Amino acid sequence: MGHRYHRRFGDRISYINQWVKYSLCLTNFIFLAVGTVFLVFGVIAFTESGGIPWKSKTVALHWLFNLTVICMVVGVITLFVSLAGFVGSLRENTCLLRFLNCCGPKSYLDWTASRFFSCDKSNISPEACGVPYSCCRQMNDISVNIINTSCGFGVQKFTTAEASRLVWTTGCVDALVSIVENNIVYFAYGFVSVAVFQLIAILLAKTLHTQINDQLRLLHQENNYY
């Protein structure tokens, strides 16, 4: 882990690394822009295409196979997720991080690489051998309205079993992988469904293209006949 940023605002000390914070903001802003482009492009393309005939018997198929609709859906999802990340990082909100119930990239012990939480004997900080309060299972164990910023102090000295009672010990990388693995069936269904829809759309487009050519050939033959 990198060193935490340490600066003072009057009587307040901030440990928020502004480079990390605004780099994360920038990354989310880029995805925000990409999502907006997808959404705007989808809306424009949908409007230019004349929309979807609501009275058609195949209106459901039009919605499922319409690329402009898919583009808009992808844009909305990307926009929502990136906006949540952008606001969360800008406001220094830990809700999205607590969602994974994790601490550190691989485990809570990764925080020993930070000079503030290092277990080195030369570290005389009260945070030595601890973890940030965002790793705590109960950050407001003192009062509902008060965050106990020292709830993670000294937990690196405990065994994993003991530490797990106070903080999340699973690494965020493993937590994210676990979520994907636990929901792999749903991800697979989603990807397969989109692939099948696209394949059917391609087949329908190819069939329509062939039928149009046959119709033009028939009209040409009729004109030559008369």
* DSSP code string of 85-141: HHHHHHTT--HHHHTTT--SSSBGGGGGGSTTT---TT--STTTT---GGGBS-TTS
pTM of the model: 0.45
Q: Environment class of residue 38 by beta-carbon count within 10 Å: exposed (0-12), middle (13-18) or buried (19+)?
A: buried
Question: Could you report the per-residue pLDDT of 138-184, keeping only the tens digit for each?
Answer: 877 666 677 788 888 999 999 989 998 999 888 877 877 787 778 77
In a domain, 193, yes or no: yes
- The sign one gets for the Cα dihedral 30, 34, 36, 40 is positive
In a domain, 223, yes or no: yes
Would you state the pLDDT for residue 198? 59
Highest mean pLDDT, choosing among 12-16, 91-95, 208-212: 208-212
End-to-end CA distance of the chain: 83
Band of the pLDDT at 4, cuts 50, 70, 90?
very low
Band of the pLDDT at 132, cuts 50, 70, 90?
confident
Task: Pick the last residue of a domain from 46, 62, 91.
Answer: 91
In a domain, 55, yes or no: yes
Q: Which residue range forms the structural domain that includes residue 36?
A: 17-91
In a domain, 133, yes or no: no
Beta-carbon contacts of 24 under 8 Å, excluding residues fewer than 6 positions away, are 85, 89
> What is the domain count for the chain?
2
Q: Which residues of 47-63 are buried (b: 16+ CB within 10 A; e: fewer)?
A: eeeeebeeeeeeeeeee
**HSE-up of 208 (CA within 13 Å, CB side)?**
6
- The sign one gets for the Cα dihedral 141, 146, 150, 152 is positive
Task: Tell whether the model's pLDDT for residue 109 goes beyond 80.
Answer: yes
Task: Pick the last residue of a domain from 74, 91, 108.
Answer: 91
Left (φ > 0), alpha (ψ -120 to 50) or beta: where does 101 sit?
left
Task: Tell whether the model's pLDDT for residue 186 goes beyond 70.
Answer: yes
In a domain, 131, yes or no: no
Task: Tell whether the model's pLDDT for residue 27 goes beyond 60.
Answer: yes
In a domain, 4, yes or no: no
Task: Pick the last residue of a domain from 60, 91, 122.
Answer: 91
Band of the pLDDT at 62, cuts 50, 70, 90?
low
Task: Tell whether the model's pLDDT for residue 220 goes beyond 80.
Answer: no
Beta-carbon contacts of 185 under 8 Å, excluding residues fewer than 6 positions away, are none
In a domain, 202, yes or no: yes
Q: How far apart are CA 66 and CA 198, in angstroms?
A: 9
Is residue 26 within 8 Å of residue 82, measured between CB atoms? no
Highest mean pLDDT, choosing among 40-54, 122-136, 153-167: 153-167
In a domain, 222, yes or no: yes
Would you state the pLDDT for residue 155? 92
